[in-house]
Amino acid sequence: MSSIRGEFSSRFGFIMAAAGSAVGLGNIWGFPTQTASNGGAAFVLAYLVLAFCLAYPALMAELVIGRHGQANAVTSLQKLANNSIQKRFAFIVGFGGIICSGLILSFYAIVAGWMFSATLEPIAVISGSESATSWLGEQSLSRNLIFTAAFILLTVAIISKGVENGIEKWSKRLMPALLFILFALIAYVLTQDGAMEGVKAYLVPDFGSILDPNLLVSALGQAFFSLSLGTSVMIIYGSYISKQENLVSLGAYVTLIDVFIAFVAGMLIIPAMYVAQAQGVEIFSQTGELLSEDTLVFQVLPALFDSMGGIGIFIGFAFFALMSIAALTSSISMLEAPVSYAVEKFALARVHATRLIGVIVSVVSVTIILNFNSLFGFVVQLTTQFAQPLIGMLCCVFAGWIWHRGKLLNAIKEGNESVENSFFWKIWPWYIKFVCPLAIALVFINSL
């Protein structure tokens, strides 16, 4: 066991790191495209409610388990177990989360690689190299392999530097850059023709669809993915928080930032689609729904950037740089989950553990790239729709049922003496005991 564990050096450092994990392609790509394909503002409303009422309590369960355990996810969960069966159960949940995290990284790195190459494409355009422009802009095996590898290497480079000098330092640099680019882009897009129609489509809810079960399933899945729940990532990040910090408010900040950025990203993407429409770009599918997913990001938006003339090159560059940064601060958290386990369990040096796991993830990524049609969607579904809600639910079960209530209170109380009389403590234990597991189970059964 390595005896010296990392710790975030400040509140701000933790918030940037955890928000960096939370804010990713899920916010800037996933949330707006889900909104587009689920009836606009009704989805936004469902998402807001579910994020605060279900995902935040589940996030708190993971954070407090980690901070109490002061160790990787498996060890932290095992510290709560009262007997050998529970211990084995703890291993399955913790290790399952770690594997899930590694698998998510392996597909996330592919998508992030697309973002990297799309960021470089405008530079190739400016430099006048036609062959580079078309290589960067078109799907090919060589391009996907190279950019996926580049993305994994960058993630490995940051994680091998450790908690304070790697995760925290880079999150503190990249998150403000992300916010700046995001707001600059919104300011520009909202001044364009057609943008206001998009704002309306985004913000005026169609209440008829709000109770649509599919909408709720998608919104809850989105909220879990967005807060990086059910993958042991928030357990490990929790374990790096000092016991002097108030967890209840830290978790609330992270949730607020995550939800806020998803919401704000929608203010960029949906109006941008209507601006594109005003420029003659097709934004509705044949069945009358807004185009979404990869068509939106790699066809509608680039067509919009093209139609903007000279400035479009810069806007396109800024947009994909934003995506790349968001992806990187998320991917480092995905890699930290298995690395922290390998370091603590097998007493490996961090650098070695990081490289080793980087190689394993790369092998999985390459396998997915080589069998894209059969594997990509499968791995996405397996991890995000199946494993994440299930493991997130089991973490709530650990905190709500296996952990003795008095001990749980003591763990939450550290850094927050008065929590016992707070509104939070009145409802949260009950929430993670009944409401979260039941709601997640319902959504889960529905999605099967």
Footprint on this chain of ligand TRP (rule: CB under 6 A): 21-22, 24-27, 101, 104, 225-226, 228, 231, 233, 330, 333-334
Closer to ligand TRP by CB, 21 or 192: give it.
21
Reduce the DSSP state of residue 429 to 3 states and report it: helix
Minimal distance, residue 434 CB to ligand TRP, in Å: 25
- C-beta of 34 vs 277, nearer to ligand TRP: 34
Please identify, using beta-carbon distances, which residue of 119 and 171 lies nearer to ligand TRP.
Answer: 171
Q: How far apart are CA 322 and CA 408, in angstroms?
A: 39
The answer to whether the CB of 267 falls within 8 A of the CB of 199 is: yes
Beta bridge partners of 284: 290
Q: What distance in Å separates the CA atoms of residue 144 and residue 106, rounded to the nearest whole number?
A: 13
Q: Which residues contact 59 (CB under 8 A, 6 or more apart)?
A: 227, 229, 234, 251, 254, 255
> What residues have CB less than 8 Å from 28, skipping those under 6 apart?
182, 261, 262, 265, 268, 269, 322, 323, 326
Q: Which two tokens stand for residue 221?
A: 């899945």
Provide, rounded to whole angstroms, the least separation between the CB of residue 329 and ligand TRP.
8
CB of 184 to ligand TRP, least distance (A): 21
Strand, coil or helix: what is 284?
strand
Minimum CB distance to ligand TRP, residue 175 (Å): 13
Whole-angstrom Cα distance, residue 384 to residue 371? 19
Q: Which is nearer to ligand TRP, 50 or 275 (CB)?
A: 50
Identity of the residue, 217 or 308, whose beta carbon is nearer to ligand TRP in the bound complex: 217
What separation, in Å, do the N-terminal and C-terminal C-alpha atoms of the chain show?
41
Nearest distance in Å: CB 397, ligand TRP: 19
Residue with tokens 């594109």: 276
Nearer to ligand TRP, 6 or 97 (CB): 97
51 or 104: whose CB is closer to ligand TRP? 104
Separation between Cα atoms, residue 324 and residue 377, nearest integer Å: 21
DSSP state letter for 416: -
Distance CA 17, CA 438 (A): 30
Q: Which is nearer to ligand TRP, 230 or 302 (CB)?
A: 230
A 10 A CB-CB count for 58 gives 27
Q: Report the largest interatomic distance among the alpha carbons of the chain, rounded to a whole angstrom.
A: 67
* Closest separation in Å from C-beta 423 to ligand TRP: 27
Q: Quote the least distance from Cβ 383 to ligand TRP, whole Å.
A: 7
CB of 27 to ligand TRP, least distance (A): 5
